[in-house]
Amino acid sequence: MQSKTTRIAHLLVTLALLTAGAGAVTGCGSEKAVGNGVKAPGTGQEPQAKNRARQVADAWDGSEAARQWHKGYYPMADAVQLPEGGLRDKADQRAFTTQNFVLRGTLPALPRRDGEVRWKSGGSLTLPLMEARAAYERVARGGNDGPHLTVTEAKPGQMTLATSRGPATVPAWLFTLEGYDTPLKRAAVGPSKLPESPIGPSRDVPADTLVPLDGLVEVADGGRSVTVLADHGACDSGPAVHVLETGTDVVLSASVLGVRKGPCTSEMIRARVTVTLTRPLGDRILLDAHTGRPVPHEGPHESSPSWG
């Protein structure tokens, strides 16, 4: 996956090219294009970007990478789940966002070396367990005088998490928070290693027609609704995301629309874009046309560690 610096640089080049005279993305459409979460009928996709999406889908179909993917554990939801009913006030919400926690108590040792991920659809996978201290430090990285959440106890347990293979029961650390009746949960296993993509990043499609996605936010509505993060600039109409669906993959192609001429700041804006699929995502692989790789899940504090 590209680094954040590389993605920013790529976006700035894109905006510079567009401002210099390239128009909004037009051409033959794929199944659909969506901008800022709203369908944009008639908004086309450049043939080069469309061809790139097809190349990515063909490369993954029946590949060794796809075989490994379908055997692995890849979360598609946050590794942290809040207490039932959520946080009680803005102060606690701020503490969680800034990762400002205080530990009052002793964190237990690992109950065993490995834990089992079990899928609702069948099948399981044994993975190394994360120590309570490591799980706590993934959640509690702050250390300031502002609002904080207090952890008084931790114990091993389970949580249900959306994954690339559907819902799964996952080993978790349950952290008791002062003032709450139910715990904050943090997955105690990390994702499987991401398989090597059968296709490299896009090099032939012009920067004004295809940009990388920033991450996956969620899959909802029974798998028919997919929300992703896409970057754009201060002098455009926002991002658009085209969808190519096959029997085994869903390929998303992001672009920037409606760039205005004239002076413009180099500000990068991150937007949520929701696309609707013709049928549930299921175990199809969600791919980024630009990178040629699965779209990484973007949690509130960290991306999945397997996407680096």
DSSP 105-117: S-PPPPSSSEEEE
Residue 8 has pLDDT above 70, yes or no: no
Report the mean per-residue pLDDT for the chain: 82
Q: Please report which residue ranges of 112-247 form alpha helices under DSSP H.
A: 132-139
Neighbour-count burial for 149-173, b at 16+ CB within 10 Å, e otherwise: bebebbebebbebbbbbbebebbbb
The predicted-structure confidence for 179-205, as pLDDT tens digits, reads as follows 999 999 999 999 999 899 999 999 988
Residue 117 has pLDDT above 80, yes or no: yes
First to last CA, the chain: 6
The residue type at 272: R
pLDDT at 258 over 80: no
Question: What pLDDT band is residue 260 in, cutting at 50, 70 and 90?
Answer: low
CB atoms < 10 A from the CB of 30, how many? 19
What phi and psi values does residue 258 have, to the nearest 5 degrees?
A: 60, 45
3-state SS class at 15: helix
What amino acid occupies position 179?
G
Per the DSSP assignment, residues forming a β-bridge with 220 are 225
Write down the pLDDT at residue 242: 94
What DSSP element (H or E) covers 96?
A: helix 90-97
pLDDT score, position 271: 83
pLDDT at position 10 is: 43
* Tokens matching residue 92: 């606690």
Strands in the chain per DSSP E: 32-35, 38-39, 80-81, 101-103, 114-119, 124-128, 149-163, 166-177, 184-187, 215-220, 225-233, 238-245, 249-257, 268-276, 285-288
Contacts of residue 52, defined as CB under 8 A and 6 or more positions apart, other chains included, come to 202, 204, 205, 210, 253, 289, 290
- Rounded CA gap, 225 and 214, in Å? 17
Torsion of the alpha carbons at 256, 261, 262 and 267, rounded to the nearest 10:
-10
| Comparison of pLDDT for 230 and 249, the residue scoring more | 249
**185 CB neighbour count, 10 Å cutoff:** 24
Query: Has residue 235 got a pLDDT over 90?
Result: no
Give residue 303's pLDDT: 54
- Model confidence pLDDT, tens digit, residues 118-172: 999 999 999 999 999 999 999 998 777 889 999 999 999 999 999 999 899 999 9
Q: Which residues of 190-209 are buried (b: 16+ CB within 10 A; e: fewer)?
A: bbbebbebbbeebeebebbb
The pLDDT assigned to 211 comes to: 87
The DSSP bridge partners found for residue 173 are 156, 186
Is residue 59 within 8 Å of residue 292, measured between CB atoms? Answer: yes
- pLDDT at residue number 236: 62
Higher pLDDT among residues 145 and 303, named by residue: 145
Residue 259: predicted pLDDT: 62
Question: Looking at the predicted structure, is the pLDDT value of residue 114 above 70?
Answer: yes
Condensed to tens digits (0 to 9), the pLDDT of residues 31-84 reads 334 444 333 333 467 889 999 999 999 999 999 999 999 999 999 889 999 999
Q: Which residues are bridge partners to 285 per DSSP?
A: 249
Residue 291, pLDDT above cutoff 90: yes
**Residue 23, pLDDT above cutoff 70:** no
- What pTM was estimated for this model as a whole? 0.78
- pLDDT score, position 184: 98
